[in-house]
Amino acid sequence: MSKQHKIKWRESDTKELNRVVKNFNAKLNRLAKSSDNVILPEKVKVSELKKLINTRQDLQREINMLKRFSKKGSEQAVVIEGNENNLTITKWQKTEMNRRVGIINRKRKERFDLLKDLDVYSRGESLGYKKGDIGMGRTAEHTLKPMNAFTRSMDKADLKQKWKAIMKESPSDFFKESDFRLKENYINTILRNYNEQDVVDVISAIENMDIKDFIIKFSQEQDVFDWNYPDEEKYQQYLSTLKSIWIPNK
């Protein structure tokens, strides 16, 4: 299953990342001695940061973020407007969280718009309405709704969790990576529920599909997860349905 090309780490990349992380953490150490009323961002580990870097674009984004903390005034204390806990953080963290949430929400909207306009099918036959007409599904509606950087009731613990969630969804290929995991999990589920020799052609068809084509078909088809076949007749019916979905022209 081919994925998009990952970043090829160069020695100079690692050296630069180490340098900006060291400077970032050094400034935090200095601020910790005098910033009693300000919630400072957590220190950064290169190993953890590398887990979020899949492309060269990701690398440059993280380096630029860390460098901005070195600028004079980035440590300025700001109170989150409307927060009932008088949450006070650095100007840097507020700016970075709002910047990234804006990017995340644009990507979420792009995915939402793609899915909501899909025709809905059952066993390869159109049902005559769009996916947006019946709802996107509980998971999609939760993960694709706009994210808020800050909330009225947010406290220090909530801030920490929100920052982690924002960082996790920041990679440029976040949705593509999720799509590949879904594709792999779906193939494994098929193999667990059918005799392998019966679904060799189905697995081959799915593995060779472009990832966007897979997501579109998976999202618009209502019967991709039917696994309940108590007898041989029902098994053959479901197997036929599975083939009609993924290899309709056979």
Q: Angle at the Cα of 8 (from 180 to 178), degrees rounded to 5?
A: 15
In a domain, 70, yes or no: yes
Residue 80 shares a structural domain with residue 132: yes
pLDDT tens for 216-237 read: 999 888 666 667 777 888 899 8
Residue 21 · residue 49 · CB < 8 Å: yes
How many structural domains does the chain have? 2
Q: What average pLDDT score do residues 206-210 get?
A: 95
In a domain, 112, yes or no: yes
Residue 198 shares a structural domain with residue 162: no
In a domain, 147, yes or no: yes
In a domain, 65, yes or no: yes
Residue 45 shares a structural domain with residue 92: yes
DSSP state of 145: S
DSSP state of 39: B
Residue 107 shares a structural domain with residue 215: no
Residue ranges with strand state E in 186-234? none
Q: Among residues 172, 188, 221, which one ends one of the domains?
A: 172
Distance CA 122, CA 57 (A): 39
Residue 150 shares a structural domain with residue 76: yes
- H or E, element range at 116: helix 91-116
Supply the range of the domain harboring residue 121. 11-172
Local structure of 126: helix, strand or coil: strand
- Check whether 5 has a pLDDT greater than 90: no
- Check whether 140 has a pLDDT greater than 90: no
In a domain, 189, yes or no: yes
Average pLDDT for the chain: 90
Q: What average pLDDT score do residues 207-220 get?
A: 92
Distance CA 11, CA 227 (A): 49
Residue 156 shares a structural domain with residue 236: no
Q: Among residues 120, 153, 172, which one ends one of the domains?
A: 172
Residue 166 shares a structural domain with residue 182: no
pLDDT tens for 97-131 read: 999 999 999 999 999 998 888 888 887 778 888 88
In a domain, 6, yes or no: no
Q: What are phi and psi of 205, to 5 degrees?
A: -65, -45
